[in-house]
Chain A
Amino acid sequence: AQSVTQLGSHVSVSEGALVLLRCNYSSSVPPYLFWYVQYPNQGLQLLLKYTTGATLVKGINGFEAEFKKSETSFHLTKPSAHMSDAAEYFCAVSDPGTGRRALTFGSGTRLQVQP
């Protein structure tokens, strides 16, 4: 079964600093990879996804992520944090090899942005 590990349940950065949220997956076949953001008491919003092609993926709100097959990673970055980025971020995968559409989520990383 697939699993997703998000290192660091809480990350705190200063406004304007680099944001780096880590995601590693376990799968023998490269999965489809997603990053979602969840604001308090709201649903999840897709930031970006990787299915095939270019391994550096750009998303909304200035976020990007790079798929590294050799490291089984899909870390999320943003060059300069804004206060509005404070939220919970979830990495998720699906397995194209099985045809199953269910997403497997990591446990989430809560991002705090300090003024």
Chain B
Amino acid sequence: NAGVMQNPRHLVRRRGQEARLRCSPMKGHSHVYWYRQLPEEGLKFMVYLQKENIIDESGMPKERFSAEFPKEGPSILRIQQVVRGDSAAYFCASSPPGLDGTDTQYFGPGTRLTVL
């Protein structure tokens, strides 16, 4: 059973460009989470999605950032007009369907975004 897949692993963008980060959850998992890790810091929650629904986006910056998890295909985290402060590692996690929050979140290897 393949783990959480993220691509690309490394992404370089110039200021003002768009960044698209992809996440394929583990087989059978319908919950996806995105976290951001700034250098020398812990992970910060951004958004929690189920298929075709954003459940919790309390950690998403109000501008330039968006996320989706379509019925078919991977979850996408999109950053428009990137700035240097967006440089970070972005991790995706997935968990199986469940009624409470006890399920383990399984993390992907991350996408390291560098903004020049």
Which residue of the partner chain, among B41, B44, B56, B109, contacts A42 with CB atoms under 8 Å?
A: B109
Cross-chain contact A105 with B44 (CB below 8 angstroms): yes
Within 8 A of B (CB), among A30-69: 32, 34, 36, 41-46, 49, 51
Cross-chain contact B104 with A46 (CB below 8 angstroms): yes
Q: Provide the residues of chain B in CB contact with A103, threshold 8 Å.
A: 33, 35, 43, 45, 105
Of the four ranges (under 10, 10 to 19, 20 to 34, 35 or more), the interface on chain A belongs to 20 to 34
Cross-chain contact B107 with A101 (CB below 8 angstroms): no
Q: How many A-B residue pairs have CB under 8 A?
A: 69
Verify if B25 is at the interface (C-beta below 8 Å from A): no
CA A23 – CA B19 in complex, angstroms? 35
What 0/1 readout, one digit per residue, does chain A (71-107) give for beta carbons within 8 Å of chain B? 0000000000000000000101011100111111111
Least CB distance from B87 to A in Å reads: 15
CA A101 – CA B33 in complex, angstroms? 9
CA A106 – CA B104 in complex, angstroms? 17
The count of chain B contact residues (Cβ–Cβ below 8 Å) is 28
Cross-chain contact A90 with B42 (CB below 8 angstroms): yes
Least CB distance from A9 to B in Å reads: 8
Which residue of the partner chain, among B31, B45, B56, B102, contacts A104 with CB atoms under 8 Å?
A: B45
Least CB distance from A109 to B in Å reads: 10
Which residue of the partner chain, among B35, B41, B56, B106, contacts A100 with CB atoms under 8 Å?
A: B56
Cross-chain contact A43 with B107 (CB below 8 angstroms): yes
Which residue of the partner chain, among A51, A102, A107, A108, contacts B56 with CB atoms under 8 Å?
A: A102
